[in-house]
Structure 1
């Protein structure tokens, strides 16, 4: 299954929790909103998704496989 990191910038308040928790340094804050710098090195561990208080970042699965 292909997974993709998704950010809903309208919901992000720029708290930076996900930036601090990302083990690969994929996320940064840019103009007070989360930015995905290099998704290719993201290991899709889900720490950002689990700790985001606003549900602004999540890992999306491939729709084609029914998940």
Structure 2
């Protein structure tokens, strides 16, 4: 039986820190970066617990600015 492993990449320059992806993530992978802002002065999100990501892409679907790219791969157990 194979399991899905995921990874997200956030375009921090476009992220406005709306936190919709944080709410949408079922595994609590995403968090607001502590005391960091992007070039526009907005706080942005980052992958806080990347090993928990299952690649469901819920975060990318709710992102209004299309800042999140999701990668998935099968992992053999």
TM-score norm. by structure 2 comes to 0.70
Unaligned runs of 5+ in 2: 37-42
- Of 8, 11, 14 in structure 2, the residue corresponding to residue 11 of structure 1 is 14
Give 3-state SS (helix, strand or coil) of 1:60's partner.
Answer: strand
- Equivalent pair of 2:55/2:71 in contact (CA under 8 Å): no
Unaligned runs of 5+ in 1: 63-67
Mapped to 1, the partners of 2:71 and 2:54 lie a distance apart of 13
TM-score norm. by structure 1 comes to 0.80
Q: CA deviation at 1:3?
A: 4.8
Spell out structure 1 runs of 4+ moving beyond 2 A: none
- Equivalent pair of 2:55/2:72 in contact (CA under 8 Å): no
Q: Point out the structure with the larger strand share.
A: 2
Q: Point out the structure with the larger helix share.
A: 1
Aligned residues: 62
